[in-house]
Amino acid sequence: MDLRWFLVMGGAALALSSMSPIVAARRLGFFASALPHSALLAVSLGYVLSHLLGLDPFVCSLLLSLPISCTFTFLLHRGVDTEIATSVFVAFTSSSSVAAMYLILTRFPTEASLWSYVLGDPLLVSWSEALTILLLAALLIVLAILAYKVEVMIGLDADFARVSGVRVELRDYLLTIMLTLASVGMLRVVGFVVQHVAILLPAAIGARLARSASQLMLMSIMLSFVASILSIALASAVDMPPSAVYGLLLMAAYIVSLLR
């Protein structure tokens, strides 16, 4: 057991679960489900760009991911239906991800395993990567808590929020940036597949147990954090990836909440 395994897994869980109640309040489940496709594309392009320019691949991935994700919000503001915008977004990012990954496998030295971004591998994260993940997670948690009440108000009644002086369109782009940073920054830890669970399921569990919006945020974060710590402890015992155990623990918690 290594301390950094618990740190990065716990940090990723806290960052993603703090976004989960906001996604639920703003009814952005479609977009949150599409984000991992964008993150995989950004990571692949960031790997190529880092080799061409000699820059840090993590920074390149974050910078490339923002214009890709903001395109989705732009489509919504242009009046495109949410489901259609999501379909277009997923089609573009999925196809482009396959092309970018093929380019890496055939033209560039694969020093970092692409499978670690698909399946998630917190056990191979270095201390420098762990520090970056923890700092990003701390930033996202603070931003999510500060923005939460206003985001809930926009989700309940966007017109009332506009009349109250909230710049809803600007908030949409800020929320897109936060979700993108969480998705790309934590992709190495939880993986492309389980990231859908990490963003969507904590709020679904908390909504069945909480009695207020503040309790929903607290329960989402606590449940996800406990699941992340247990996943590291149980992964070696059951001989499975920590990200898989983490997702299964959240699913088990949801089933228990249904029975309750």
In this predicted structure, the answer to whether residue 98 has a pLDDT above a threshold of 70 is yes
Separation CA 228–CA 199 (nearest Å): 13
| Highest mean pLDDT: which range of 103-112, 114-123, 227-236 | 227-236
What's the pLDDT at 62? 84
pTM: 0.86
In this predicted structure, the answer to whether residue 112 has a pLDDT above a threshold of 70 is no
Within the chain, how many helices (H) and strands (E) appear? 11, 0
Q: To the nearest whole number, what is the mean pLDDT of the chain?
A: 86
Higher pLDDT, 237 or 113: 237
Higher pLDDT, 120 or 30: 30
Tens-digit pLDDT profile for residues 144-188 = 999 999 999 999 998 898 898 889 899 999 999 999 988 888 887
Q: Among 191, 242, 185, 225, which residue's Cα sits nearest to residue 2?
A: 242
Q: 116-120, 172-176, 223-227, 248-252 — which is least confidently predicted?
A: 116-120
Separation CA 228–CA 82 (nearest Å): 31
Tens-digit pLDDT profile for residues 36-85 = 888 888 888 888 888 888 777 788 888 888 898 888 889 888 888 888 88
DSSP codes, 174-186 = HHHHHHHHHHHHT
In this predicted structure, the answer to whether residue 121 has a pLDDT above a threshold of 80 is no
Q: Which domains does the chain have, with CATH numbers?
A: 3-259 (1.10.3470.10)
What's the pLDDT at 61? 85
**Residue 110's pLDDT band (cuts 50, 70, 90):** low
Q: Among 260, 235, 146, 243, which residue's Cα sits nearest to residue 187?
A: 243
What's the pLDDT at 249? 93
HEC profile of the chain: CCHHHHHHHHHHHHHHHHHHHHHHHHCCHHHHHHHHHHHHHHHHHHHHHHHHHCCCHHHHHHHHHHHHHHHHHHHHHCCCCHHHHHHHHHHHHHHHHHHHHHHHHHHCCCCCCCHHHHHCCHHHCCHHHHHHHHHHHHHHHHHHHHHHHHHHHHHHCHHHHHHCCCCHHHHHHHHHHHHHHHHHHCHHHHHHHHHHHHHHHHHHHHHHHCCCHHHHHHHHHHHHHHHHHHHHHHHHHHCCCHHHHHHHHHHHHHHHHHHC
